[in-house]
Amino acid sequence: MGKKEAKQSFVLKTPKGTKDWEGLDMVIRDKIFSTITQVFKRHGAVTIDTPVFELKDILAGKYGEDSKLIYDLADQGGEICSLRYDLTVPFARWLAQNSSVQSIKRYHIAKVYRRDQPAMSKGRMREFYQCDFDIAGVYDPMIPDAEILRITSEIFEALGWGGNYTIKINHRKILDGIFQVCGVPQDKIRMISSAVDKLDKSPWDVVRKEMTEEKGLDGEIADKIGEYVKLKGTRDVLDKLNSIEALQANESAKQGLADMTLLFSYLETFGVLDNISLDMSLARGLDYYTGVIYEVVTEGSAPPAASNVEGQKVQETGRKEKKEKKPAEDDDDRSNDPTIGVGSVAAGGRYDELVGMFSGKGQIPCVGISFGVDRIFSITKARMESEKAQQLRRTEVDAYVMAFGGKGFTGLLPERMEVAKSLWDADIKAEFLWKVKPKLPAQFKAAEQSGIPYGIILGEDELKAGKVSIKEMGLPEGHPEKNGVLVDKANLIPEMKQRLKQYEEKLASQLSGVSI
Amino acid sequence: MGKKEAKQSFVLKTPKGTKDWEGLDMVIRDKIFSTITQVFKRHGAVTIDTPVFELKDILAGKYGEDSKLIYDLADQGGEICSLRYDLTVPFARWLAQNSSVQSIKRYHIAKVYRRDQPAMSKGRMREFYQCDFDIAGVYDPMIPDAEILRITSEIFEALGWGGNYTIKINHRKILDGIFQVCGVPQDKIRMISSAVDKLDKSPWDVVRKEMTEEKGLDGEIADKIGEYVKLKGTRDVLDKLNSIEALQANESAKQGLADMTLLFSYLETFGVLDNISLDMSLARGLDYYTGVIYEVVTEGSAPPAASNVEGQKVQETGRKEKKEKKPAEDDDDRSNDPTIGVGSVAAGGRYDELVGMFSGKGQIPCVGISFGVDRIFSITKARMESEKAQQLRRTEVDAYVMAFGGKGFTGLLPERMEVAKSLWDADIKAEFLWKVKPKLPAQFKAAEQSGIPYGIILGEDELKAGKVSIKEMGLPEGHPEKNGVLVDKANLIPEMKQRLKQYEEKLASQLSGVSI
């Protein structure tokens, strides 16, 4: 490295739309990732790590006009590559490439890249995380679909969102059947479906206007649709739909309703019906869904001003919103509140024909979900701040080894090192101040800044008597153990293990019911 | 996504020099990462996640002629960016950018990118992992340096390599002092140092020839150097060096020896001296080291044919080897054995002046180490195969819920679902076959293929009596529990928890002493 070159000045920043993750944000994010991963593994999922860039041809023709948002690598000779745009296409490429794999449950939490106009305040980044879970393989109807929804429910329960989220579900075949029964011409079905999809952020009259004025649908047909898409509930809605003869007479609706009835019975067995809302206004824009579709919303969710932190969602609505943004929606831009402008926190569905596009051979039916981890992060962080929950610690250190002494104090460095070593040997996380003669306030400050729960304090006299002091940090004035408890040095490890166990239990009980 | 476009044919592969991580490799790799991370956290380290690409200017002028290996993003308007080449420069950028941070222990395990000629058989990839740990901040001499070596030792012990690795250490100031004392002209010191660095793969007479014939060093001076660089040992070597008056009279050597003497006392306290080899032939090529340098080698290590899986190492020797490759070294190319051609598995040192290059302001002294996780992976995998160690499981699933029955068998799907739900609720990892009427052999096969330790078997008669069967998979013929143990369905969870606890303990005792 030439020092001369390096001394040139340059702008010290990360590229536009990217950020460094650090400090408490990193701790919260890691906890979210590990919570989600634990649930995936509970259901036997494995992970596959694909390269951050793919051959450009693999991505080409997969994202319609959003292809312009793909980051290309420079042509430096050799293959032409692009950064991955999502995790779905690399997974489909992998499945097509590994034709011996006929079934898999895979999860993948990784960064994806979009050359979009970033809006940091709304969480729209150029580099952001996706978290996908997909089941590929031929199984009996609705069983994997039900397990995906069970997994979804387990994840939001594990995140501490119990009672505070709704899984909206619908079925493409029911929806298509409804459109057919209402009289939508076949060639307008996708177009009308995508108009319905906007009902989560626009009132019916706006959507109706789009159907009739922009898309030339007959007003009476639109009104019939309007009656259906109002339907929202659980078994009551399913029973109502099942009782409509016109739907039963429609092949698509009939199949979809049979699927949904089966799914409901499975969801009941899995104990997740309480959080389900069968919602006829849920349409999801992506063309490739072929069966059940779903989207998770949480309290405080608002119309998304931009959707790219929500995984697959961007492919359907993200760009459209940019082009068709209404003045009312621009209001979101004024807010830095991370929970504003955040719509769904997870979304997905069944896509039985996507892998065939890659392999050109047999289809592998798939059903999956994408968790909007950046949104989940923002909401979690905001809730933690508002609930003044137990402060998350920046590090996981259990003990800070300190020393003090009067005149002629040597610093007790070898003794502090030896105690730290014995703690590390026992897998207790420990630090000490890397100074030969540290001052006591500096040691306390270091322990407090990292939120370390225990100080282990060495004094020359105490050491001579074979004792050390364990001090729980942050005890109130007047607490009998405020100045620490003297223990035999030979018993330090069991003494610490016992305290740490109690501390973990206390922490766990404090945190139960609190997000993360 | 337009189906027409997508049906075009394309090559189904990952880009050159990249790979998908999947299956057992992924499981092994994750275990290595979590083992290493656990040690980092034990010492209070935090992680920082920087973007995968940086502004091109940040990387410019950092890698000398290896800059041609940097991957650039295409110029699609806006900032010009490049994929990160290592994790050190982004860390230095972050430190310089966050000037309020005066000290940090940070680790970072992430992919880096080099447009090199890939050699998959030797593990030289264009996308590969680095694992860096660095301590930045002003502390008393050698204390953080000692802790880095303690961490290094803990990691290789945790990986099960105990007794099977050596940490070679040296000090730039000792080495520079030796060169001065031997009479090397000041302007030839770095050049001669880089010749010495080749002693791990070339015999002395080859290195001597390079010094004298290529680099014009006086033969007598070379011979004096030859005496020093033979020195290799522990306290004996340190004592010998300390007793040489010429070195004590040299300012650089004197400082270096004082550091090393202090370091040895700290390493002894930390209990890691056993694995240390003070090695005067260790020089490390990177210009930016200013103090202690180290490199970890393991049994079966051989001269590296290519070094880019080893983190920072590539910056010093990777390219040079390519250009200066001797016929003898080419022999390595014939082998696909991942342990052949693998040199050091970790390397690092103190670099007190690097951050100043970025900030242009104050220096932040740093000491760090980079673990060659791809090499560690290859060696671990090869050892596991050769030791026929307990097979690592592809998934972590604890139980496979099955059903069987005679004529009129319904498949017991709701019952299997309900049992699976109760297992998930108790955080027991469980799967069942997503078929309405599964065949028993298919269920057994699924459980066996994933190495799942327990089957939970439902039969109609047993269920009526409130019983289910727990079957430990893979028991030998004739074992009393070969056909499973009938337990009360109401007691399934505690019964399983108890068995899983025993299973974990058995696994832990089998694995102790085995790599990973």
> What is d(CA B105, CA B95) in angstroms, rounded to the nearest whole number?
11
E strands, A352-472, are: 366-371, 399-404, 430-432, 454-459, 467-472
Residues of chain A in contact with residue B41, where contact means CB-CB under 8 angstroms, are 395-396, 429
What pLDDT does A449 receive?
87
Name the closest residue on chain A to residue B145, using Cα atoms: A434
**Cross-chain residue pair A42–B424, CB shorter than 8 Å:** yes
Mutate to test the interface with A, among B5, B8, B10 (most CBs of A within 10 A): B10
> What is d(CA B119, CA B283) in angstroms, rounded to the nearest whole number?
26
| pLDDT string in tens for chain B (516-residue length) | 444 444 456 678 999 999 999 988 998 999 999 999 999 999 999 999 999 999 999 888 777 778 889 999 999 999 999 999 999 889 989 998 998 888 999 999 999 999 988 877 666 789 999 999 999 999 999 999 999 999 999 999 999 898 889 999 999 999 999 999 999 999 999 889 989 988 888 899 999 999 999 999 999 999 999 999 999 999 999 999 999 999 999 999 999 999 999 999 999 999 999 999 999 999 987 778 899 999 999 875 443 333 333 333 333 333 333 333 333 333 333 222 222 234 789 999 999 887 777 766 677 899 999 999 988 998 888 877 766 555 567 778 999 999 999 888 999 999 999 999 999 999 999 999 999 999 999 999 999 988 899 999 999 999 999 999 999 998 999 999 988 999 999 999 999 999 999 998 887 776 555 555
A 60-119 → B contacts, CB under 8 A: 60-64, 71-76, 78-79, 81, 83, 93-94, 96-98, 111, 113, 115
| B83 annotated ligand binder | no
Distance from CA of A502 to the nearest CA of B (A): 19
**pLDDT greater than 60 at residue A296:** yes
> Which of A5, A8, A64 is the closest to B2 by Cβ?
A64
| Pair B469, B459: CB distance under 8 Å | yes
pLDDT, one tens digit per residue, over A192-245 is 998 998 888 889 999 999 999 999 999 999 999 999 999 999 999 999 999 999
| A287 annotated ligand binder | no
What pLDDT does B121 receive?
67
Q: Which domains does chain B have, with CATH numbers?
A: 23-387 (3.30.930.10), 399-511 (3.40.50.800)
> What is d(CA B488, CA B402) in angstroms, rounded to the nearest whole number?
16
Residues of chain B in contact with residue A55, where contact means CB-CB under 8 angstroms, are 10-11, 13-15
**Cross-chain residue pair B9–A360, CB shorter than 8 Å:** yes
**pLDDT greater than 80 at residue A516:** no
Which residue bears the tokens 């950092």? B62
Residues of chain B in contact with residue A42, where contact means CB-CB under 8 angstroms, are 424, 427-430
The end-to-end CA distance of chain B, in Å, is 44
Strands A276-279 and A165-171: parallel
A 439-458 → B contacts, CB under 8 A: 450
A 172-201 → B contacts, CB under 8 A: none
A 272-311 → B contacts, CB under 8 A: 286-288
**Cross-chain residue pair B52–A127, CB shorter than 8 Å:** yes
Higher pLDDT among residues A338 and B101, named by residue: B101
Question: Which tokens in the block code for residue B393?
Answer: 């499981």
Q: How many helices (H) and strands (E) does chain A have?
A: 21, 16
B 12-41 → A contacts, CB under 8 A: 12-16, 18-23, 26-27, 30, 41
Percentage of chain A lying above the pLDDT 70 cut? 85
Mean pLDDT check: name the lowest of A99-103, A294-298, B284-288: B284-288
pLDDT, one tens digit per residue, over A62-97 is 777 788 899 999 999 999 999 999 998 999 899 989
CA-derived radius of gyration, chain A: 28
Name the 3-class secondary structure at B219: helix
Sign of the C-alpha dihedral computed for residues A268, A269, A274 and A279 taken in this order: negative
> What is d(CA A503, CA A394) in angstroms, rounded to the nearest whole number?
17
CA angle B152, B158, B163 (to 5 degrees): 75
What values do phi and psi take at B485, rounded to 5? -120, 130
**Cross-chain residue pair B74–A78, CB shorter than 8 Å:** no
**Cross-chain residue pair A6–B62, CB shorter than 8 Å:** yes
Biggest alpha carbon–alpha carbon distance for chain A? 95
What pLDDT does A123 receive?
67
pLDDT, one tens digit per residue, over A454-499 is 999 999 999 999 999 999 998 999 999 988 999 999 999 999 999 9
**Cross-chain residue pair A76–B72, CB shorter than 8 Å:** yes
Residues of chain B in contact with residue A395, where contact means CB-CB under 8 angstroms, are 41, 44-46
Which residue bears the tokens 């002693």? B199
pLDDT, one tens digit per residue, over A385-438 is 766 555 567 778 999 999 999 888 999 999 999 999 999 999 999 999 999 999
Nearest to residue B474, comparing CAs of B444, B508, B509, B504? Answer: B444
**Cross-chain residue pair A94–B266, CB shorter than 8 Å:** no
What values do phi and psi take at A109, rounded to 5? -115, 115
